[in-house]
Structure formats: C-alpha cells, structure tokens
Amino acid sequence: MLHTLTYEFDLPQDRTLQLKLPDSIKIGKHHIVLVIDEKEDKTDDFQQLLNTTRGIWQQSDGLAYQQALRSEWE
C-alpha cells in the first residue's frame, strides 16, 4: 500500500528532520521518498512589491493622479 504524508515545517539551523509516522504505517522495511518543495516566503510579498516598484512613477503626485482617475468614474 502506498501512503502519502504531507508535513509543513520550518527547517532548523542544523538542518535536521525528525518524523513521527502515524500508527497506520506498519513496522518493517519501507521505501521513503523525500521531496523538497522550496517555496518563497509569502510574508514579504507586499514589501517586495513596494521595493520593486519604488520610483517608477515620477510624472506627478501618484495619489492625485489616482484620485483624478476615480473622479472620472463617478
């Protein structure tokens, strides 16, 4: 029988991983495959966007421009 277990964790500085398998896994020899799915830290996405787009609008006051556009919609 094939079991798929998914764990999410923060890897510590010493890069060790210890797993406690569920009781449904039988004792004995097994073939284990480890897949590392590196994902970018999503907590800094907004800050990264701000840093990336900083200074690209230099034509005038950006807020005044947005307010003028919105007043056209009304």
- Which tens digits make up the pLDDT trace of 36-64? 887 766 667 788 888 888 877 778 888 88
pLDDT at position 27 is: 93
* Mean pLDDT, the chain, whole residue set: 84
pLDDT at position 65 is: 84
12, part of any domain: yes
51, part of any domain: no
Q: Residue 68 above 90 pLDDT?
A: no
71, part of any domain: no
pTM, two decimal places: 0.42
69, part of any domain: no
Whole-angstrom Cα distance, residue 37 to residue 35?
6
- Phi, psi for residue 40 in degrees, rounded to 5: -70, 150
Q: The tokens of 73 are what?
A: 């919609």
23, part of any domain: yes
The one-letter amino acid at 30 = H
pLDDT at position 62 is: 81
Cα dihedral 35, 41, 45, 50 sign: negative
Task: Quote the domain boundaries for residue 21.
Answer: 1-38
pLDDT at position 43 is: 63
User: What's the structural domain count of the chain?
Assistant: 1
15 torsion bin: left (phi>0), alpha (psi -120 to 50), beta (else): left
